[in-house]
Chains A and B, each alone.
Chain A
Amino acid sequence: MTRSKERTSRLGLWLTLAMVFAMLMGPGPGLHLVNPDVTDPDAVYLISGIPIVYAWGIFWFAVQVAIVVIAYRTVWHDDEIQTVVTENEG
C-alpha cells in the first residue's frame, strides 16, 4: 500500500469515527447535555429564540455535512474501471 493510500485509509477511519461520534452526540446519549428537563421549572428551552433541541440537530447536521464533504473530496475515489476481467470474489 502506498503512503498516500495509507493516509487516505487512516483519514477514512477517522471520518467514520467522527460520523459515529456525531450520531452519539446528536440523536444519541449526548443529547442529554442540552435536552431540557420538563420537570425543572428553570429549564432552558431556547437559544437565541430557537428551540435548543432544534438548534442541536442543526449543529450536528452541519458536522455530518462537513464529514461527508471531506470524505467526498479526499477519501471517496472515482476508481471506475472497465471491470471486464473478473473472477469470483474471495
Chain B
Amino acid sequence: MEQVVLNDLGGMTYVVVAGYLLALLVIGYIGYQRSRVGEEDYYLAGRGQGWIVSSLTIMATFFSSFALLGAPGMVYRDGVVFALFSLNVPISGALVYVLGSRIHRIGRSRGFVTPADMLCEHYGSPVALRLLVALSGFLYVMPYVVMQIQAGGILASQLFPGENAFVIGAIVLAGITTLYIMIGGMRSVAWTDVLQGGLLVVGMLVAGVATVVMLGGVSGFFAGVAALPPASLSVPGTTGYWSPEMLFTVCFFASAGSMVQPAQWMRYYSAKSTQTLRRSALIFTIVLTICYLFGIMLVGLGGQVLYPLETSGGVVLPNPAVGSQANQFDQILVVMISQNLPAVFGLFGSFLAILIMVAIMAAAMSTADSNLHALSAILTRDIYDRFIDPSASEARRTWVGRGIILLATVLSLIVVIVSRTSATVNLVGMIAQLGLLAIAFSSQLLPMTIDMLFIKRGTRQGAIAGIVTGLGIVFLLSPLWPVALGGGPGSLGRLRTIIDIGAWGLFANIAVFAITSVFTRKAAVVVVLACLALPASHATAQSLPDERIAESAPDSFKVAFETSKGGFDVVVYRSWAPLAADRFYHLVRLEFYDEASIYRVVPGYVAQFGIHNDEVTNQAWRPLVLEDEPVRQSNARGTVAFARGGPKSRTTQVYINLVDNGRLDALEYGGVRGYPPFGKIVRGMDEAVALFNSQYANAPAMRQDSINASGRTYLDRAFPGLDYIVTARLVAF
C-alpha cells in the first residue's frame, strides 16, 4: 500500500495510540488475574460470558480490518451495490442464536471446546473427521491472522513517520496481541474485544457522519452522489462483478460460513446462557448492519464524489490521490480522513482522524486475537492432545496452547515482514488469495453442522465424504489452483464468476453428504441387524446388543452392583418406565456395566455411569436410542434414571439421584420434558453410593468423546482415583 501519512498531528497520535495499547494490556492483565487454571477457563472463559461481552466479542471477531479498509474500498470501487451485500449481516446475526444456542447447549453439557469436539462425537469419527474439521479451521484462521498483522503494520506506517514504521508497528501490535492472549486466554481476548468492538462501531459511524458533513450535509452529500456515473448507482457495480446471483450466494452462504468458523463457534460455547446469545443476535443484527449501511456506505460513496474513479484500458482504477494501482481502493477511508478531517474540523478533526485509525487497528487486532486463540485451541485439542501426547495433563496442554500462539504469531510476522521487504517473495499475496477463500473453506462445515443440530440423519461416512468434496471443489475453483499446479483452471475458472465458489463447494458437499449418508445408513442398519442375529453367548463377550433387546423385562427385578466402594442394590419397576426398564435389564444381562467408571459424581446432585470401556461396543449402542417416556415417579434420592441429551437419546448411561431432584421431573431439555426414573436403590446408598469419589465433579463428563473412545484407560490417566463398577448382576428378588 502506498504510504499516506496523516497530517502532522503532533504528540496526539502517540498519546492516543499509546493509551489504546496500554488499555489493552491493562484489560488483558485483569483478565489474567480473574482467570483460573484449566483449559475450560483458558479457551472458554469458564463458559460464563455475559451478553455485553458476548455480543461485542462476536461482533469484533466478525468485523476484521476488512470492515474499515476493504469494505469502504469495495463501496468506493463498485458503488451502491454494497448496500445489498450488507444484507448478509442480519442473516449472520440471526444465526448467532439459531446455530449458536444449540451449539451452546450441547457444548456446555458435554464440555466441548472446539468445533471438532462436537462434530466428531456426534458422527463417531475421532480421527478422520477431527483432522478434516481441524484443517478447515486452520485454513480459515491462518490467513486471517497474517492479514490482520499486515493491516496493523500498514496503519503504523500511515500514523508514524520513518522507514521502519511498518515493521515496528507490525511487531508491536502482534506482540501486544499475543501477550494478552497468552496470559489471559479467552477472558482477555473477549474483554479487549469489548473495547475494540466499541471502538470499531464508533469509528465506522463517525467516519460516515464526518463524510456527510465534509460534503456539506445530507443534501450536499446526496446531490454529489446523484451525479455519480450510472454504473456506480446500479448492480452489478462499476466492475461488473456483483451480479444478483453472485450477491445472493455470497450473502446467503458466506454469512452462514462466517458464523461457524472456529472462533465464533467457541464464543457460542463461552456464552453464559442462551439468553446471552439471544441478545447478542439482536444487537449484532441491528448495530453491525447500521454500521455498514450508514457508516461505510457513506464513506465509500463520498469517496467517489471527492475522488472520482478513473478508467484505463477498460480497467477501473482509483483516483491518483487515493492510489496508483488497481488494488489500492482500500485506502479510501485513510485518504479521506487524513486529507479532509483535519482541514474541515481543525484540531477536533485531527482527533477524529486518529480515533478512526485506532478503530481500524482495533478491527485488525480483535480479529487477530480471536483467530490466534482459536488456532491454539484447534492445534492443542484436536491435534496435540489426540495424536501427539494423549497423556498430557490439562496444565501442560494449556502451556502448549500458549506456545502455539507465540509460534503462529512469529510465523505470521515473518511472512508479513519478508513480503514487505523482499522484491521477489510475496507470501502475503498468496495468503491474501487464501484469505479470500477463508469463508468458503469454513462454510464447508455447514452441512454437517446443520445435520447435527437439526436433521440428525447424516452418517460419519457422509460427513467425511461431504467435507472432502466441499474443500476439494473450493480449492479446485479457487485462484490458488493455477498457483498450486502451474496451470490454469480452464473452464472451471468461469464457474467462479457465476456464483460464489463457497456455494459451489456447498452444493457438491450437500449432495455427496446426503447420498453417502443414505447408502451408509442402510449399511449401518445391516450391521446392527447382524449384531442382533449373533448368538447371545458370542455377543455377551463384548456386551454388544443381541436379539434379546426386544424382550420385555420382568415387572420388577433386582440388580446387585459391586463397586470399588462397596455394594448397592437397585430394584427396578417396569411400571415406572417400561422402555427404560427393558433396556436396563438387557444391559445388565450383557454385563455391560462391568468395569465401567462412575465418571461423574456431583455432590448434592447425581452420580452417573454407563459408558463401556470398549469403543466398538459404545458405537454399536449409539444408534439404539429409546423412545422418550413420561415421568411417573419423582427423581427422589436413591432413584435411578437414564441420562439423555435431547429427544430420543437415551441409550446406556444411567444416573443415581444423590438427593431429591424433583426439578428433574419437569425439566425440559431439547424439547423433552423430564427424566423418568425406572428404579430405586434399596441397599448401599449411604454405605457405597454416598462415598463415590466426587473430587472431579462434572469435569470427566465433559470429555465424553475420550471416554467413549478409551473408557477407563483414559479416565485412569486423566482423572485418577475415580470409582468404578466391578460387576452388576441380576439377583433373586
Contact = CB atoms under 8 A, between A and B. Distances in A.
Interface residues of A, number: 50
A83 B278 contact: no
Interface in A49-75: 49-54, 56-58, 60-61, 64-65, 67-69, 71-72
Given A35-B244, A78-B275, 4 more contacts: A31-B244, A36-B233, A80-B105, A86-B645
B122 A89 contact: yes
Given A45-B234, A78-B275, A57 B84 contact: yes
A35 B234 contact: yes
A6 interface: no
A19 B89 CA distance: 12
B651 A87 contact: yes
Contacts of A81: 667-669
A29 B623 CA distance: 43
Contacts of B251: 23, 26-27
Interface residues of B, number: 80
A60 B708 CA distance: 48
A51 B81 CA distance: 10
Contacts of B452: 89
Contacts of B273: 78, 80
Scoring A51, A60, A69 by chain B CB atoms within 10 A of each residue's CB, the highest score goes to A51
B223 to A, nearest CB: 8
A46 B226 contact: yes
B636 interface: no
Given A23-B251, A85-B608, A87-B653, A38 B234 contact: yes
A87 B89 CA distance: 35
Nearest to B663: A82
User: Nearest 8 pairs between A and B by C-beta?
Assistant: A57-B83, A83-B109, A64-B90, A78-B275, A80-B273, A28-B248, A27-B84, A27-B247
A85 to B, nearest CB: 5
Nearest to A31: B244
B230 A45 contact: yes
Interface in A1-58: 19, 22-24, 26-29, 31-32, 35-38, 43, 45-46, 49-54, 56-58
A61 B87 contact: yes
B645 A76 contact: no
Interface stretch (B91-99, B322-330, B488-496, B513-521): B91-99
A46 B232 CA distance: 12
B274 interface: yes
Contacts of B668: 79, 81
Contact of B274 (A27, A32, A78): A78
Contacts of B650: 87
A72 B281 contact: yes
